[in-house]
Amino acid sequence: MRVMIAPDSFGDTLTAADAAHAIARGWTSVRQQDELEIAPQSDGGPGFVEVLASRIGTVQVADVDGPLGTAVRARWLLDGTAAYIESAQACGLHLLDDPPSPQSASKASSYGVGQLIDAAIGSGARTIFVGLGGSSCTDGGRALIRALGGLGSAAARLSGIDLVAASDVENPLLGEWGAARVFGPQKGADADTVDRLEELNTDWAAVLSAAGHDVANRPGAGAAGGIGAALFALGGTQQPGAVVVADRTGQQELLETVDLVLTGEGKFDSQSLRGKLVTRIAAAGGATGVETIVLAGQVTLTEDELASAGIEAAHSISEFAGSVELAMSDAANQLELLAAHIAGGVADSGVNPRRRA
């Protein structure tokens, strides 16, 4: 049997590549006869460049300002005249020295992302994909535009260049479902900080609107703390990050050659059903007659929800390990053991009909 192993990252515990190799080790320990296709995926967040670099392009390195101003070494990808940038490489939560706090949420900046775009322009890129997700900032992309010389200068420099926000996020910049109120608390913002970030982004949206860029309510403007809004103001468009990666890693071609897909993410819940990577893979697999099994840190979906998403089974690492704490502290090992457990229940004629570990 040919098995495609195509997980997303598992939050802060495992990269997509690490997760894929852990699943592969566990699966092979039980089913040595199977042929594995290891194809980690990304929706534009952390791991976007790593996943793409396994298939295309040449990795570039740039020293840029991190979220709080300290220099960081960021990786990006150049493939001919197409550049692939990962915002988390310059302003990711993982780059904070300490756990996220109201102070870091207030100060975190997208400046380094602008520096990466500048590097891509300088390398002759004519199309620039910016993967959005996992950011520590909620500055609406103001610092990104400042790094490019300001709104007018940035627009001029990007004239004739296709700028693409690679993101599955549909949130606007402002309001109840905007960047500050939805994602701010995940970045350490308390209630007062959320209110302040909302005010600052409201002022920023007015500046953009006065310059002819009314982008605040555009779906996706709130991605990566509002970096989406800045990219749209600079003439950017949006493509789902999962689709960008799938196209460039030959996902569809692989699906047509395999018998089973194993995918996963940190938390498989109702948000996963809204076009996120795992359900996109399941839909694509279903279209080619391939069944999908999900391995996730936590699973909160019902049997009916799994069936409606075309997923044969969803297994929780936390349930298998006995606790969320062990699932996170020993993530790779527990994922490997869970994969071995699932492999033991799979017959060549089909997958185990059980839906939970």
User: Of 226, 242, 258, which closes a domain?
Assistant: 242
At 353 the pLDDT is 38
User: Of 190, 217, 242, which closes a domain?
Assistant: 242
Question: What's the mean pLDDT in 149-174?
Answer: 96
287: in domain: yes
At 347 the pLDDT is 66
| Whether residue 131 sits in one domain with residue 105 | yes
| Whether residue 331 sits in one domain with residue 206 | no
352: in domain: no
354: in domain: no
| Whether residue 213 sits in one domain with residue 144 | yes
Does residue 355 register a pLDDT over 90? no
| Full-model pTM | 0.89
At 66 the pLDDT is 98
Does residue 350 register a pLDDT over 60? no
Report the distance separating Cα 153 and Cα 164, nearest Å: 18
Question: What's the mean pLDDT in 161-186?
Answer: 96
| Whether residue 112 sits in one domain with residue 221 | yes
Question: What's the mean pLDDT in 167-185?
Answer: 96
350: in domain: no
| Whether residue 329 sits in one domain with residue 190 | no
356: in domain: no
| Whether residue 147 sits in one domain with residue 127 | yes
Question: What's the mean pLDDT in 3-21?
Answer: 93
353: in domain: no
Report the distance separating Cα 268 and Cα 349, nearest Å: 27
How confident is residue 166, by pLDDT bands cut at 50, 70 and 90? very high
| Whether residue 90 sits in one domain with residue 30 | no
Does residue 312 register a pLDDT over 70? yes
- Beta strands (DSSP E) in 161-236 are 162-166
At 272 the pLDDT is 82
139: in domain: yes
| Whether residue 70 sits in one domain with residue 7 | no
Name the residue type at position 68. Answer: L
How confident is residue 270, by pLDDT bands cut at 50, 70 and 90? confident
357: in domain: no
CATH number for the domain including 197? 3.90.1510.10
Which range among 85-89, 149-153, 169-173, 309-313 shows the weakest confidence by mean pLDDT?
Answer: 309-313
At 357 the pLDDT is 43
In whole numbers, what is the pLDDT of the chain averaged over residues?
94
Question: What's the mean pLDDT in 305-322?
Answer: 92
From edge to edge, which strands make up the β-sheet containing 58-65?
A: 58-65, 71-79, 82-86, 127-131, 162-166, 237-239
What percent of the chain stands above pLDDT 70? 97
| Whether residue 142 sits in one domain with residue 108 | yes
| Whether residue 286 sits in one domain with residue 187 | no
Does residue 351 register a pLDDT over 60? no
Does residue 140 register a pLDDT over 60? yes
Number of domains into which the chain is organized: 2
Contact assessment for residue 47 and residue 10, using Cβ atoms and an 8 Å cutoff: no
Question: What pLDDT, in 10s, does the model give residues 206-225?
Answer: 999 999 999 999 999 999 99
Q: Residue 264: which domain range?
A: 2-41+250-343
Torsion of CA 180, 66, 154, 239, to 10 degrees: -60
User: Of 242, 263, 294, which closes a domain?
Assistant: 242
| Whether residue 213 sits in one domain with residue 82 | yes
Report the distance separating Cα 354 and Cα 347, nearest Å: 13
| Whether residue 284 sits in one domain with residue 166 | no
CATH number for the domain including 31? 3.40.50.10350
Q: What six digits make up the tokens of 68?
A: 């709080």
